[in-house]
Structures are given as C-alpha cells and as structure tokens.
C-alpha cells in the first residue's frame, strides 16, 4: 500500500518541475526519502525559495532555476532524466480569467516544451498535473473520465489541451504520458496567503488569527478534497504504470465529498474557535460540485489512496499550528 515501498532503478533520476511549489516540494521530499535522485526545475514565480533551501544540503538533490517557457531550459532539465513529474503551471481559476494569454503561454506552451524535451532526451515516463476543472459544466457525479462538459475557465482549458497533447505524444512519438486530474489537493506547505490561496489553509490561518473567513457563495459547494500523500502515491505509481495506460488521464482523489460550510465548522471546532464566516459572492468559473470516480486510476495505475479527508485534515491542522 502507499508508495514508500515502490522500487525504481538504482540511481534513478526524477525531474520535478515546479518543485518549489506545494505539490512539487512534497514530491521532491518523497523521492529523496526513498533514496533516489531529484532535479528540481522552478523559476520561483509562485514557488518558494525555502522549498528549495530545505533540500539543498541533500547529496541527491539539485536545483535548476529556469522557466518552462524556454525550450532550451527544458531540454537541459531533461538531460539524463528517467522520470518527469511535471507540476509547473500557474494555478487558480479566478486568476486565469484575468490573465488568459499568460496561462496559455505557461500552462500550454510550457507543458508542450517539457513533453518535447522529454521526447528528445529519451525520458521513460512523463507524468503531468491536470485538474478536475476539465469536467467543466458536466453535471454528473461522480466525475468519470470520458464524460467532460464545457470548460468554465482559461485554466481548465489549458489543462484540457495539455491532456490532448499528452495523448498525441503517446500516439505519435511513443512518449509514455500520464495525466493526473487532481481534485482539490491540500496538506503541509500549501500557501495560506494571497487572494488566490486554497480554501483549507486560508481558513486555518484566518481562524488562528481570529479573523472571519469569507466563504464564496452559500457554502453548500462540495469538493473531493485530497490529501497530499495520495497525490504523491499517484505520481509515483504512474511512473511504474504499463505503457498500455499511457496517453490517458486519471482522476486523483480519495473519492469523498465534503461541503465547504461543513469543513469550515470542522476546522473552527478543531481549532477551538467560535467565529462566524462571512458569505460573499460566488466566484466566476467555479464548479458547484465535485466528486471523483477513482476506479480507472485503481485499475490502470494501482492507485489505492490511504489518506481519507478526516485523516488528512488532522495532519494538516497540526502542521499549520506548528508552522504559521
């Protein structure tokens, strides 16, 4: 179970793009803990330098400061690499609505640069971050691969296009690509600051500071919140998946469904706070309900998530208490 007993070649080299970010830095740490080599590529536009410095004394870790929008940097980063874990992207649905051209450049152009570099350098597996946002306005629950609606934001569109390139790079160039549709990932080192911060760390920080958090809409939106350990497992198991599974996209979640208002109440209780939230307007481009069918990832990747929402939120609360 999990990922810590997975075996790769001796001296295997993993490239983690966006390795100074929340998910990327957790992937770097997991691979290092397993005894393999990590090369981190990040331009530090949204990632944090402390997520690099925490590993820089490790003999198996190297940091390459560079941008995925530069094709030469991507080729250099892929040199000698066995597995690419491509996390570098600009996130946030609301921000993408404000900056569609930039999202096109980074999330589509940068991912295409990375796939091409991986192909040229003979990388074995190319695992990349997609998003549950690709389901768009399709009403079905749970969300199932192959049943997508119209995308609701430029961010969602960039991830949809990335998946199409992933399919083409498998069929045209025999690069084994695996797209991971993350569902609302949370956990240690997720940034609670800024206008586009994810809801769980933002709620925790505001409650710890006795501030009144803002809930967009009525709080009855539901999400399949997914703890970071499950995401690490999916990435590493995709690196060991058979070529027959390549070119596909997979839901990465726990398979649960939590309502925002319930999560808020749970966090307030766990932190011993009696603070009423403020209800604000709904955010443009947001999906109302999200819940994943993870049977495809189980069947084709051997994905068996161990971290429920309840277990994950306990660990996250403890981490934020100690670190913010």
Question: Which residues are marked as active site?
Answer: 155
Nearest-angstrom CA–CA distance, 46 and 191: 10
Nearest-angstrom CA–CA distance, 292 and 172: 30
């Amino acid at each position: 179970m999990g990922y810590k007993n997975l075996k790769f070649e001796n001296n295997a080299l993993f490239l983690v793009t966006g390795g100074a970010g929340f998910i990327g830095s957790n992937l770097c740490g997991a691979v290092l803990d397993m005894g393999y080599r990590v090369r981190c590529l990040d331009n530090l536009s949204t990632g944090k330098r402390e997520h690099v410095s925490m590993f820089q004394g490790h003999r198996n870790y190297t940091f390459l400061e560079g941008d995925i929008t530069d094709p030469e940097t991507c080729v250099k980063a892929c040199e000698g690499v066995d597995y690419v874990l491509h996390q570098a992207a600009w996130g946030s649905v609301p921000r993408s609505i404000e900056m569609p051209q930039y999202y096109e450049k980074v999330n589509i152009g940068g991912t295409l640069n990375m796939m091409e570099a991986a192909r040229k350098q003979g990388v074995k597996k190319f695992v990349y971050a997609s998003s549950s946002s690709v389901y768009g306005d399709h009403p079905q629950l749970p969300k199932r691969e192959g049943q997508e609606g119209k995308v609701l934001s430029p961010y969602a569109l960039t991830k949809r296009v990335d998946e199409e390139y992933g399919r083409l790079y498998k069929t045209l160039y025999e690069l084994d690509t695996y797209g991971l549709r993350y569902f609302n990932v949370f956990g240690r080192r997720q940034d609670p600051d800024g206008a586009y911060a994810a809801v769980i760390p933002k709620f925790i920080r505001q409650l710890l500071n006795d501030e009144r958090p803002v809930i967009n809409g009525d709080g009855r939106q539901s999400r399949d919140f997914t703890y970071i350990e499950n995401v690490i497992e999916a990435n590493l198991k995709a690196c060991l998946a058979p070529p027959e599974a390549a070119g596909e996209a997979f839901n990465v979640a726990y398979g649960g469904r939590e309502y925002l208002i319930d999560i808020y109440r749970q966090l307030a209780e766990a932190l011993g706070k009696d603070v009423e939230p403020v209800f604000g307007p709904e955010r443009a481009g947001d999906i109302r309900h999200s819940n994943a069918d993870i049977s495809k990832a189980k069947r084709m990747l051997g994905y068996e998530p161990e971290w429920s929402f309840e277990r994950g939120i306990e660990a996250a609360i403890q981490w934020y208490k100690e670190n913010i």
